[in-house]
Structure 1
Amino acid sequence: MKNLISFILIGLLCACTPVKRTLSDKPEGDLNESVYRISSYCPIEGDCKVNRIKNVSLQVKEVRDGNRGEMYYELIPSESSDVVIYSYNKAVDDVLMDGFYREEIVFEIPKENQRIILEHRNLQDVKMLFGRFCYCKGETGYYKVKRGSANIKYSDSRIRASLDIQILDVPQLIKKVSFTVD
């Protein structure tokens, strides 16, 4: 009996070991997804990933309905730029119908070997958007990033980015991200 209790306690201790998720690689699988490496913190309640869409440009659009406006983007074919999407998807209980939560940081990068360092309103030089999607009435959709900084380097078909952004319009979980994407 003592051996059984000891075995169960050891099993519980091993199962309760905290998981550190500050460094993640793209899981094996879909060949259409980008190869990436995230070197910043990703909240343990969900998953972070990076996708690079080659040969496209961001076209940001805004629809006004009275005082309320909705922003969205379209991807337009372009040989001179790529679009990068960093996303965080919070794991939720499947029983909850409206329990989803996702954040995205979207930006466009010219296809040139270069380094781009931007701050605050200059982040719009790469058309940077922040998206928040949840069942949060009046606090979802895309927002232009107007506060923060970005250090982006494009070389040898690899993009390295370090972003620190702040959105004043809505709450956000993802503020500082660092990643490399091929």
Structure 2
Amino acid sequence: MKIIYFLFPLFIATACKTQTGTVTAPEKTIMKNSNMDRKGCPSDGTCSVKVLKDKSLEIRKDETMRTIYPEIVDGNNIVVEYTYFRSGPEGTADGNYSETIQFELPAKTKDLVKQNGGLADVKMLFGKSGYRNLEYHMVSDGKLSVQNTENGLSFTLDFKMDKTPQVVTHINESITLR
């Protein structure tokens, strides 16, 4: 019986150990941002851009929750993902906030301009995550201008969400691709 009293706490202490070290997930299609001209990122947070080549952005529907959500799958297009992140107050568990704008471009696009309802052609999606809340909405009010060259991608986006408050309303990015 004494052995059980000794082994039980030892078993509990070792069974709950979390993984330590660095975990990496290789993603060969993510192009690194080497030279960025960042305009439009709010000063109280950080912004990042991912350009994923040979991918496609699919908009999935959850009929139970009556929501939509993105899924990035293998494809023949380019998916652009812009993320604004703001850390919560020190000592809070759920105080972080983020906004993500995703859209898909045909791989051979050189110059593209889409406005308002035309943003559906590029599957433009706005997502925000805050205190235990994650929601996505299609963007239907705004203007996107894209210039795609051999060396990089530049885009400007001005948009407004009627269904939910937002922090980011203007994005101007120039990305040199390696």
TM-score, normalised by the number of residues in structure 2: 0.76
Q: How many angstroms apart in 2 are the aligned matches of 1:61 and 1:101?
A: 23
Q: How many angstroms apart in 1 are the aligned matches of 2:31 and 2:58?
A: 22
Runs of 4+ deviating beyond 6 Å: none
Q: CA deviation at 1:34?
A: 2.1
Paired residue total:
147
Q: CA deviation at 1:39?
A: 3.0
Match of 1:39 in 2: 38
Say which is worse superposed, 98-107 or 88-97, in terms of deviation: 88-97
- Match among 70, 90, 97 for residue 93 of structure 2: 97
Deviations 1:122-181 (A, max 9, x none): 1011100001100175xx411100000000111215211000011111100001001022
Q: CA deviation at 1:94?
A: 4.0
Matching of residue 75 in structure 1 with residue 107 in structure 2:
no
Q: Kindly provide the amino acid, as one letter, of the partner of residue 162 in structure 1.
A: T
8 Å contact kept, 1:120–1:147? yes
- Match among 106, 130, 135 for residue 110 of structure 1: 106
Deviations 1:21-51 (A, max 9, x none): xxxxxxxxxx966215143121121101111
Structure 2, gaps ≥5 residues long: 1-27
Matching of residue 141 in structure 1 with residue 135 in structure 2:
yes
8 Å contact kept, 1:112–1:155? no
* Gap change, CA 1:171 and 1:123, over 3 Å in 2: same
The structure with more radius of gyration: 2
Match of 1:5 in 2: none
Structure 1, gaps ≥5 residues long: 1-30
* Gap change, CA 1:157 and 1:141, over 3 Å in 2: farther
CA RMSD of superposed structures (Å):
1.9
Q: CA deviation at 1:93?
A: 2.5
8 Å contact kept, 1:38–1:49? no
Share of identical aligned residues, percent? 26
Question: Any idea what SS the aligned residue of 1:125 has?
Answer: helix
Q: How many angstroms apart in 1 are the aligned matches of 2:144 and 2:40?
A: 17
